[in-house]
Amino acid sequence: MSDFVASIKTNFNKRYPGIHHAIVKHYFTSIITLVIVFAFILRYFQLNIGLPYLYFWDEPLIASNALQMMKTGDYNPHFFKYGSLMIYLNLLIDQLYRIYLSLAGDLANVENIRIAADTGWHWTISHPSFYFLNRFLTATMGTATVFITYLISRAICNRWTGIISAFFLSVLPIHIVHSGFVTMDAPVALFVSLVALCSIFFIDQKKTIYFILSLICVGFVATTKYNSGLIILLPIASLVWMSYRDEIPRPKFYWLAIPCLPMVTFFLIMPYAILDFPNFIKDVLHQINYYKITGHPGATISPGWDYFSFQIQKFYQNIGLISTILFAIGLAGTIFQPVLLLVLLFPVSYLLFMSGMTVNFHRNFIQIYPFIAIFAGVAFYNLHVALKHFYPKLKRPISIVCLAAAFVLLPRAYDAYQTGMVLHNTRDTRSAVIDTLNAMEDVQKIVFARELRIHEQDLDKLKYDYSIQPIEIMSAEQKRDGVHYVLPAEVSQIYTYHHEEIQRKQAIIDKIPGEHILQYIDNNYIGQNIGKDYIKQNAATMLDVFSTSPSLIIANQIPHEPLHPGVIAFDTCKLSPTGVQINIRNTATLRDGVITTPAYDLKSGKYLFTFQTKKSATPERSQSFVFGEYETSITVKRLNAFREHASIRVSIFADQTLLTQQIFIPTENFAQMDAFFSLEKNQRVSVQIENFHPVETTIKQLKIVTTDEH
């Protein structure tokens, strides 16, 4: 049989020599191309998660800041808690997409794009397509990291090792997940990997250009995520290595380049770190204080051993037992290939450095996983070497190695693909409820709870007339036949200052009779392995932060509850036949950008509307540093005043018709705004206040009184 197969192979090679040559020549290229394409597909599956709603806290810090730059033309991010590189890269994507939308006639003016700066709600996302493209950029960078991992592993061992390492990272769930959000974690992993690659090439090929590129990439790393600047240890180590081997000319030039090139790159990418130095140093000090001292609610741990062991457990949970064993076998390869010590230097140093912190977010360690993938690939290389050494009669030990790698990685690839398909085809419950409503009959109107924050993109698909009201006003209004109500099944909050408001809302929801609940829509896809840590399993509607596919109720009747005088905006109100007043002792915060007061019955006459507001104060921050025998401190104090572009829009409605609307621009910490209006007849008056400033604004007083009394 073997002779028969050999004869067929010989005849084929003679008849089609070009095909055989092409297959041999492009064999490895074809395989790594397939791995890269598969890696991108897995990451592409993540891009529409939640949209048009956001599921990740930090995405607006990058995406919305980029959109704000595009809208205003002000390229100062005014935000330096993270590096600015990803903001500028996303801005480039946004500008190109804006041009496309303008040419297509789908975006007449950038002012139509609403973000947090327009509403005060951190997760405002009026045009989800911008976020999708920003996520596309992150997914591309995550996929590029897979290719860089291949190049590093190939440079250390061989092409088979590179392919295995790349495939290991391509199907790793935690890397897939973070490659699908507009954050810094996957991009910084790319730049860190580039530093490692250039450092290894510098040692291997002895070309100065690779050393220079490694230092430039260090600048990219630092402008993405400050604490990852520790990667500069790799170029330093590579220079020490080359100096020890006496293989570099003019060593002083190299040592001078180590601080200069990353610093120049840093300030070229982030010029406002100098131009807006007070804000830059303030945010940097805030991050230092946040990570080392204050911590984060629910994500704080004691520095030292507790932090170290916690992260080790997280690594184990994310790669599993078999991969942990592979990593250990790969570490043994440092005995035979000392260059692996260079690869190991950053993960160990970074883990020890971060162990001095208190905030324990494991996403800060995404950049370590490419190095784990490299050592996993080296483990199979070590297996190949061992087979050749102990079983020299084996003709093709590489076949056994490839089978072993396939046995370990292919099931993971299948699971990642299946989970990705589920997530790709799953929509937020607020999007799904629109289809459910459109399929219903005998519906005259839909009333949505404002707390759900149903997106306009979804509302545009609804075929019925609708309105959006707070739960308390939904319950207080007169009921009509044919009206369907969409409410959250549960309301909750992260912080505690909405406790009384939540009790009022939840009491109304709990009183809905079971026979009047037509549909219950749940987030039944939550809990998939790939996303369980990042798609919250709490199905409650959150009042103060983003909600993640909350459980919904469709009811054809809800209980009638008298309207609480201070519903929505205020705890208590003073009512009279001629006016409405909020006592100055009672305050309310424009936490989500829009406040709507109840409607009050006022007689005909002339009225004065008074609105007093105060910007929340920010305490000063200071940080001390010790340099040898000297101690110095830096203190940053934010001026307690509104920014120039702050504005508040007040709209006064009479019987739900806009009566007057004014824009107030506060210029000091405390501001009072007055507006006059008249009623020709007895009418129900309500006020809507919109905050066009991301900083919390506290309402100290609101009153409507007759001018005669005033």
The last residue of one of the domains, among 527, 555, 583, is 555
Q: Say which residues have a Cβ less than 8 Å from residue 417's Cβ, sequence separation at least 6.
A: 41, 42
Asked if residue 598 belongs to a domain, the reply is yes
Number of domains, the chain: 3
The pLDDT value recorded for residue 668 is 58
pLDDT of 471 reads 85
In this predicted structure, what is the pLDDT of residue 657?
A: 80
Q: Within a domain: residue 604?
A: yes
Model pLDDT, residue 597: 66
> Taking CA 539 as the corner, what is the angle to CA 514 and CA 82, rounded to the nearest 5 degrees?
160
CA 484 – CA 480 distance, rounded (Å) = 9
Distance, first Cα to last Cα, the chain:
107
Q: Is residue 248 in a domain?
A: yes
The residue from 409, 424, 439 where one domain ends is 424
What's the CA gap between 346 and 332, in Å, rounded? 17
Instruction: Name every residue whose Cβ is closer than 8 Å to that of residue 88 and which is 6 or more positions away in sequence.
Output: 66, 75, 269
Q: Do 437 and 420 share a structural domain?
A: no
Q: Are residues 674 and 646 in the same domain?
A: yes
Asked if 330 and 168 touch (Cβ cutoff 8 Å), the reply is no
Partnered with residue 674 across adjacent β-strands are 610
Pair 436, 420: CB distance under 8 Å: no
CATH label of the domain that carries residue 607? 2.60.120.380
* 406 and 436 both lie in a single domain: no
Query: What does DSSP say about strands 594-596 and 683-691: parallel, antiparallel, or unpaired?
Result: antiparallel
The residue range of the domain holding 306 is: 34-424
**Residue whose entry in the numeric block shows the structure tokens 């897995």:** 42
Residues 340 and 461 in one domain: no
Whether residue 508 is found in the same domain as residue 595: no
355-370 exposure pattern, b = at least 16 Cβ within 10 A, e = fewer: bebbbbebbbbbbbbb
Out of 555, 585, 604, a domain closes at 555
Is the distance from CB of 163 to CB of 31 less than 8 angstroms? Answer: yes
Chain centroid to CA 695: how far? 20
pLDDT score for 293: 87
Which parts of the chain register pLDDT below 70?
A: 1-25, 120, 495-498, 523-538, 563-600, 611-647, 665-671, 691-710
How far is CA 464 from its chain centroid? 34
Q: Which residues contact 225 (CB under 8 A, 6 or more apart)?
A: 82, 83, 184, 185, 188
In a domain, 528, yes or no: yes
Q: Within this chain, do residues 386 and 441 fall inside the same structural domain, yes or no?
A: no
Is residue 406 domain-shared with residue 433, that is, in the same domain?
no
Dist. CA 164–CA 333, nearest whole Å: 16
Domain check: are 639 and 676 in the same one?
Answer: yes
Please tell me what DSSP assigns to residue 671.
E
| This prediction's pTM | 0.79
Residue 160: CB atoms within 10 A of its CB come to 20
In a domain, 580, yes or no: yes
Taking each helix axis from N to C end, the angle separating 128-156 and 59-72, rounded to the nearest 10 degrees, works out to 120
Q: Which two tokens stand for residue 400?
A: 């056994």
* Residue type (1 letter), 135: R
Reduced DSSP (H G I as helix, E B as strand, rest coil) percent helix, strand, coil of the chain, to 5: 50, 15, 30
Q: CA-CA distance, 188 to 471, in Å (whole number)? A: 43
Q: Is there a domain that residue 633 lies in? A: yes
Residues in the chain: 710
Helix (H), strand (E) at residue 280:
helix 277-289
Asked whether residue 170 is domain-assigned, the answer is yes
Domain match, 199 and 255 both:
yes
Whether residues 196 and 293 share a domain: the answer is yes
Residue 116: partners with Cβ closer than 8 Å, 6 or more residues away: 60, 64, 122, 123, 124, 694
- Does 452 lie in the same domain as 332? no
Both 617 and 685 in a single domain?
yes
- Dihedral-angle region of residue 295 (phi above 0 means left; psi in -120 to 50 means alpha; beta otherwise): left
* Predicted pLDDT of residue 658: 81
185 residue type, one letter: D
Integer Cα distance of 191 and 196 in angstroms: 9
Would residue 682 count as lying in a domain? yes
Distance CA 550, CA 99 (A): 35
Residue 173 makes CB contacts below 8 A (sequence gap 6+) with: 318, 416, 419, 529, 530
